[in-house]
Amino acid sequence: MSEKVDEPRRTVVLGERELAIGFRLIGLSDVVEVTPSTAQAAFQQVVADPATSLVIASQSVRSALSETQRFHAENSLRPLVVFVPAPTGEYEVESISALAKRILGVSLNVPH
């Protein structure tokens, strides 16, 4: 019986220049520099590519997305979309329990 080997999957980084430089320095080459005016189109193009399995985007990209795109990002498993703090400015932190619920579909109840 032959097994189907999955095609290589892409990890794509979307963010401002500083974030892009940082990820390039650690060896990722699939990095897209975006501005608030180009973030929506770049996000749409990346998530529509079936080879993309992980999107790492800055919080500033999240802020620039439409409500529909944010909903897709928060509920998508392929590609999985993770938002990281922008190099400057304020950011929201997703709790571990919210991340587990989104990715694994399970609730983590932590006693206080």
CATH number, domain containing residue 66: 3.40.50.10580
In the predicted structure, residue 3 carries a pLDDT above the cut 50: no
pLDDT band at 1 (very low <50, low <70, confident <90, very high): very low
- Given a contact cutoff of 8 angstroms between Cβ atoms, the answer to whether 15 and 57 are in contact is yes
Q: Is residue 57 part of a domain?
A: yes
In a domain, 35, yes or no: yes
Confidence band (pLDDT; 50, 70, 90) for 95? low
Domain, as residue range, for 86: 10-104
* C-alpha–C-alpha distance, residues 42 and 69, integer Å: 11
Tokens representing residue 2 in the block: 């032959």
Each residue of 38-93: pLDDT tens digit? 999 999 999 999 999 999 999 999 999 999 999 999 888 889 999 988 766 555 55
**Domain-located, residue 111:** no
Question: Is 4 inside a domain boundary?
Answer: no
Per the domain annotation, does 74 fall within a domain?
A: yes
Q: Is 21 part of any domain?
A: yes
Quote the number of domains for the chain: 1
pTM beyond 0.95, yes or no = no
Beta-sheet strands, E only, within the chain: 10-15, 31-33, 52-58, 80-84
Domain presence at residue 3:
no
DSSP-assigned letter for residue 88: S
Contact present, 103 and 77 (Cβ < 8 Å): yes
- Which residue has better confidence, 90 or 33? 33
